[in-house]
């Protein structure tokens, strides 16, 4: 394009130069002949030359204008060429970017193809696994269906067996119902017969409140002795022998010189007489004449404990008045003897109040015991810790809380007898033992006021102490046996009195 422009420029200058030369040639002097020859031709030619010159000038102007226009066009072309160059550079950069983009596109395409290939491979693998799983699923389904059919068959067979067994059980149940109905009918008849027999024998079934009554008796005895007996008894105390009926029940060590609470000593004496005289199976005398009816029944080996209880209930019903009369006389005698034994260690001068409360307590104990004489169980009382040794509880020292005895007690004082049922080990009221709190200690007397010392001195001239009570068991045993024999003789006379009018009086 630049070469074309140069050629056009050279051609334009050539034309202009030719025109100028033509004009000069026309204006140059020729031969004189020609000048003189035809001036008219010159004038014509001058006119034509002027016209041609004017036309040439016009053409030159036109050419100059065209050249100027072409120069402007040339500047525009240069700008265009520069722009074209810039655009070419931009095009090259764009082509380079396109190439880079195409390269990236190729790489992306390659990556995409690889991913598609991997995805296809995975799809194929998953398809293969799916096919395998479908095959396994079909196999498992077949196995499950087969197992289910087998289990259904077994279940149906088992169900048939259960139905058969159910029919048999229902038949057996119907038989059992009929049998139970018959047994219930027989039971009602037996119960009616039993109630009739109980009504005839006037027997009362054993209830738990019987033992609750003994619990109340024990707490009342504890409170009674705590009110009237304070301080302690010591080994050095001397005086006439008071505890002739209870010394053979003392289980304290003779080598233990520790002081004993007077309240526990009194409770020990009263508990011994409760077990030996008040809590007797029967007080009236037996036909043999040497023992009471209760002792005779207890020693009998020909009848069972329940039979003894039934016989006692019948005898108590038949001879209730005589039994209560003998028991009342016996309680009066026991209360008198206990008062004589214990008044020497009383901590108060109000002897009459203690005597009345002691008699009232013994009468209450007798009423509680009489309830057991109508019960269908052979209830006994014992103050011997070696009988049923595991059915005792222990109180130590000044404590008023009893704990169960884990092992048979080797020493201790019985402060409340044990109540048990002969032939029934599950129901009993545990007896209570008292023992020292700790090991042996030196004897220590508590300080006493002059008034207390004078009272103790005046009482010691009348009655003895626990130490002397334990020193003569032979005398105690013989006196106790004599007292029991006199009571039995009195009961026997009442039992043998056909008219029931003669009243026996105690000689104890």
CB 418 within 8 A of CB 428: yes
Structure tokens at 18: 């030719």
16-25 pLDDT per residue, tens = 776 766 666 6
Q: Which residue has the higher pLDDT, 370 or 479?
A: 370
Angle in degrees, CA 56, 60, 63, rounded to 5: 135
Task: Please give the pLDDT value at position 447.
Answer: 37
For the ranges 47-56, 331-340, 366-375, the lowest mean pLDDT is seen at: 47-56
321-367 pLDDT per residue, tens = 999 999 999 999 999 999 999 988 888 778 899 999 999 999 999 99
Task: Please give the pLDDT value at position 492.
Answer: 43
> What is the rounded distance in angstroms from the CA atom of residue 279 to the CA atom of residue 362?
10
Task: Please give the pLDDT value at position 497.
Answer: 40
SS in 3 state form for 82-98?
HHHHHHHHHHHHHHHHH
Q: Which residues contact 464 (CB under 8 A, 6 or more apart)?
A: 238, 239, 240, 241, 242, 243, 344
DSSP 502: P
Neighbour count for residue 2 (Cβ, 10 Å): 10
SS in 3 state form for 286-297?
CCCCCCEHHHHH
78-90: average pLDDT: 80
CB 360 within 8 A of CB 338: no
> What is the rounded distance in angstroms from the CA atom of residue 232 to the CA atom of residue 265?
9
Cα pseudo-dihedral 261, 365, 381, 328, rounded to 10: 110
Task: Please give the pLDDT value at position 178.
Answer: 92
Q: How confident is the model at residue 67 (pLDDT cuts 50, 70, 90)?
A: low
28-39: average pLDDT: 52
> What is the rounded distance in angstroms from the CA atom of residue 77 to the CA atom of residue 85?
12
Task: Please give the pLDDT value at position 486.
Answer: 47
424-429: average pLDDT: 80
Is the pLDDT at 112 greater than 80, yes or no? Answer: yes
277-302: average pLDDT: 85
84-91: average pLDDT: 82
Task: Please give the pLDDT value at position 169.
Answer: 92
58-81: average pLDDT: 72
Q: Residues of the chain with pLDDT > 90: what percent?
A: 18
Neighbour count for residue 165 (Cβ, 10 Å): 11
Is the pLDDT at 219 greater than 50, yes or no? Answer: yes
Task: Please give the pLDDT value at position 306.
Answer: 85
Q: Which residue has the higher pLDDT, 216 or 391?
A: 216
Is the pLDDT at 453 greater than 80, yes or no? Answer: no
Question: How does strand 431-435 pair with strand 392-396?
Answer: parallel
CA-CA distances (angstroms) from residue 440 to 255, 257, 471? Answer: 9, 7, 20
260-274: average pLDDT: 91
34-43, 193-202, 300-309: range with highest mean pLDDT: 300-309
Is the pLDDT at 2 greater than 80, yes or no? Answer: no
Is the pLDDT at 376 greater than 70, yes or no? Answer: yes
Task: Please give the pLDDT value at position 406.
Answer: 59
Is the pLDDT at 428 greater than 90, yes or no? Answer: no
Closest CA to 265 of 468, 481, 473: 468
Q: Which residue has the higher pLDDT, 91 or 116?
A: 116
Q: Which residue has the higher pLDDT, 452 or 119?
A: 119
Q: Which helix (H) or strand (E) holds 419?
A: strand 418-421
CA-CA distances (angstroms) from residue 222 to 99, 226, 392, 402, 468? Answer: 120, 6, 17, 12, 24
Is the pLDDT at 483 greater than 60, yes or no? Answer: no
Q: Mean pLDDT of all residues in the chain?
A: 74
Complete DSSP assignment for 204-248: B---THHHHHHHHHHHHHHHHHHHH--SEE-TT---S---TTTGG
> What is the rounded distance in angstroms from the CA atom of residue 416 to the CA atom of residue 429?
10
Is the pLDDT at 100 greater than 90, yes or no? Answer: no
CB 486 within 8 A of CB 505: no
Beta bridge partners of 292: 285
34-50: average pLDDT: 61
Burial of 363 (0-12, 13-18, 19+ CB in 10 A): middle
């Amino acid at each position: 394009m630049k070469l074309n422009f140069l050629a056009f420029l050279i051609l334009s200058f050539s034309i202009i130069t030719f025109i100028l030369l033509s004009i000069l040639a026309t204006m140059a002097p020729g031969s004189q002949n020609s000048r003189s020859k035809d001036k008219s031709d010159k004038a014509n030619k001058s006119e034509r030359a002027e016209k041609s010159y004017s036309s040439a000038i016009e053409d030159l102007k036109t050419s100059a204008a065209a050249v100027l226009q072409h120069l402007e066009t040339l500047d525009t072309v240069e700008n265009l060429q520069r722009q074209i160059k810039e655009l070419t550079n931009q095009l090259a950069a764009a082509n380079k970017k396109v190439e880079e983009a195409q390269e990236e596109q190729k790489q992306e395409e390659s990556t995409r193809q690889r991913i598609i290939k991997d995805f296809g491979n995975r799809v194929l693998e998953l398809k293969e696994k799916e096919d395998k799983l479908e095959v396994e699923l079909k196999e498992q389904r077949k196995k499950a269906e087969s197992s289910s059919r087998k289990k259904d068959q077994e279940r149906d067979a088992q169900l048939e067996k259960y139905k058969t067994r159910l029919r048999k059980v229902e038949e057996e149940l119907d038989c059992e119902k009929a049998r139970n109905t018959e047994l219930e009918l027989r039971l009602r008849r037996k119960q009616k017969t039993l109630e009739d027999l109980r009504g005839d024998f006037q027997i009362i079934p054993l209830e738990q409140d019987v033992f609750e009554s003994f619990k109340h008796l024990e707490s009342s005895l504890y409170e009674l002795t705590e009110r009237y007996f304070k301080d302690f008894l010591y080994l050095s105390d001397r005086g006439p022998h008071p505890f002739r009926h209870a010394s053979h029940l003392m289980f304290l060590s003779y080598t233990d010189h520790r002081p004993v609470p007077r309240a526990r000593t009194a409770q020990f004496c009263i508990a011994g007489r409760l077990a030996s005289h008040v809590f007797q199976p029967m007080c009236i005398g037996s036909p043999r004449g040497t023992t009471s009816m209760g002792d005779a029944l207890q020693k009998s080996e020909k009848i069972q404990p329940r039979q003894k209880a039934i016989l006692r209930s019948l005898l108590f019903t038949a001879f209730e008045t005589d039994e209560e009369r003998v028991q009342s006389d016996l309680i009066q005698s026991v209360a008198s003897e206990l008062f004589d034994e214990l008044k020497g260690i009383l901590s108060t001068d109000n002897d009459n109040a203690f005597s009345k409360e002691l008699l009232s307590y013994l009468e209450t104990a007798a009423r509680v015991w009489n309830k057991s004489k109508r019960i269908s169980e052979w209830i006994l009382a014992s103050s011997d810790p070696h009988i049923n040794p595991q059915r005792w509880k222990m109180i130590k020292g000044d404590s008023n809380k009893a704990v169960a005895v884990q092992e048979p007690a080797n020493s201790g004082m019985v402060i409340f007898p044990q109540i048990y049922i002969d032939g029934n080990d599950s129901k009993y009221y545990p007896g209570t033992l008292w023992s020292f709190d700790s090991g042996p200690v030196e004897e220590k007397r508590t300080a006493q006021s002059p008034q207390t010392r004078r009272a103790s001195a005046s009482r010691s001239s009348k009655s003895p102490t626990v130490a002397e009570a334990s020193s003569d068991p032979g005398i105690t045993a013989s006196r106790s046996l004599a007292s029991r024999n006199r009571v039995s003789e009195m009961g026997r006379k009442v039992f043998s009195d056909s008219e029931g009018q003669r009243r026996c009086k105690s000689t104890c």
